[in-house]
Structure 1
Amino acid sequence: MSLTFTLDPSVTPDLRDGILDLWTDVTNAGGAVGFVAPVTREAIRPELVHHFAAMADGRMRLLAGHDEEGRLAATAFFGFNTHRLKTHWAWLYTVMVHPRHQGKGYGRDLLDAAEQAARTFDGIEAIQLSCRGGLGLERFYASCGYKEVGRIPGAIRVAPDDDRDDVLMWLPLV
């Protein structure tokens, strides 16, 4: 079993609802994707609308992975730099695999599909992402070829007296 990846899928109500469900389920299972559990779909909706607006403006692209049943199982959003000195690399945001698929290698498949997609983007020579420290995510990303290039101590506050590092990871494509 594997996921089927689609770059720039049509944004339908089903896709929108699938992303809301995915983001909610990943967060509530302890995933570090911009929110802290417990979270509801309604709390996530404004951030998803922001992502969709950036997609409409051409500042973001979506990579979606569907399982064998056709359900949304994984996402990654590419963010493109608008600063003229940084247009040669892209950000990878909201990298998620549904908890029901954890441990199947789908995270690695998602990052491989993201790398392959980025290689088709004109002028993109690298991917950068950031991850929340304290969860072992930087080890996972490193195992997928990303290199830690920076760390901002305590930059992410998940709760009072619980600050985590913001870890910057980089994958050269050339």
Structure 2
Amino acid sequence: MPLTFTLDPAVTPELRDGILDLWVDVSDVGGAVGFVPPVTREDIRPVLLKHFALMAEGQVRLLVGHDEDGRVAATAFLTLNTHRLMTHWLWLYTVMVHPRHQGKGYGRDLLAAAADAARGIDGIEAIRLTCRGGVGLERFYGSCGYKEVGRVPDAIRVAPGDDRDDVIMLLPLN
């Protein structure tokens, strides 16, 4: 059954807790979403609260996918660019699909919903994202239409002696 996507849902305690649980579960299976396992809700909570603050300021939009049971199953944050010469594209951050739903095509669905959401924002012509090299994400995003446009070698330190490339990807929306 497909996910139901909502752009800019009301931030309720249930939504907050659902995103925290998703982020912990994705991180703990090695998902490249800003943390290294093991993590707790308390590790992630300050980062999520910063996202919520930026949402309240109108700088960030939240896309949430709920599964058939109404649980948060996927998220992506669309961050508007504040540089006056770069307002024609936005960043896509914290792209997550719950491990229990991976392999069902929901990642592709999430990226398609994010592209549709971005197309609905006046003046947006492209989406940029970065991903951690070494885990196959470049291939996945590439299969969804994104092109690698840059790479910073060894920019992400996962652990001492384990540095990964920061890969920059772009999806034109035209």
TM over 0.5: same fold? yes
Name the CA distance, whole Å, in 1 between partners of 2:117 and 2:50: 22
Corresponding position of 1:162: 162
Q: TM-score if structure 2 supplies the norm length?
A: 0.99
Question: Mind listing any 5+ residue stretches in structure 1 that lack a counterpart?
Answer: none
Percent of aligned pairs with the same amino acid: 78
**CA shift at 1:93, angstroms?**
0.3
Corresponding position of 2:6: 6
Corresponding position of 1:74: 74
**Residue 146 (structure 1) aligned with residue 115 (structure 2):** no
**CA shift at 1:115, angstroms?**
0.5
Give 4+ residue runs of structure 1 displaced > 2 Å after superposition: none
Q: Deviations over 1:15-39 (max 9, x none)?
A: 0000000000000011000000111
Aligned CA-pair RMSD? 0.4
Corresponding position of 2:111: 111
**CA shift at 1:166, angstroms?**
0.1
**CA shift at 1:112, angstroms?**
0.5
Q: Match for 2:52: what amino acid?
A: F
**CA shift at 1:83, angstroms?**
0.8
Corresponding position of 2:28: 28
Corresponding position of 1:48: 48
**CA shift at 1:163, angstroms?**
0.2
**CA shift at 1:68, angstroms?**
0.5
Name the CA distance, whole Å, in 1 between partners of 2:38 and 2:72: 21
Q: TM-score if structure 1 supplies the norm length?
A: 0.99
Q: Match for 1:103: what amino acid?
A: G
Question: Mind listing any 5+ residue stretches in structure 2 that lack a counterpart?
Answer: none
Aligned pairs, how many? 174
Corresponding position of 2:86: 86
**Residue 127 (structure 1) aligned with residue 130 (structure 2):** no
Corresponding position of 1:171: 171
Q: Match for 2:28: what amino acid?
A: N
SS in 2 for 1:145: coil
SS in 2 for 1:134: coil
Q: Match for 2:57: what amino acid?
A: D
Name the CA distance, whole Å, in 1 between partners of 2:54 and 2:24: 20
Name the CA distance, whole Å, in 1 between partners of 2:77 and 2:99: 18
Name the CA distance, whole Å, in 2 between partners of 1:71 and 1:38: 22
Q: Match for 1:130: what amino acid?
A: T
Name the CA distance, whole Å, in 2 between partners of 1:19 and 1:141: 22
SS in 1 for 2:42: helix
Q: Match for 2:164: what amino acid?
A: R
**CA shift at 1:158, angstroms?**
0.4
SS in 1 for 2:20: helix
Name the CA distance, whole Å, in 2 between partners of 1:12 and 1:143: 34
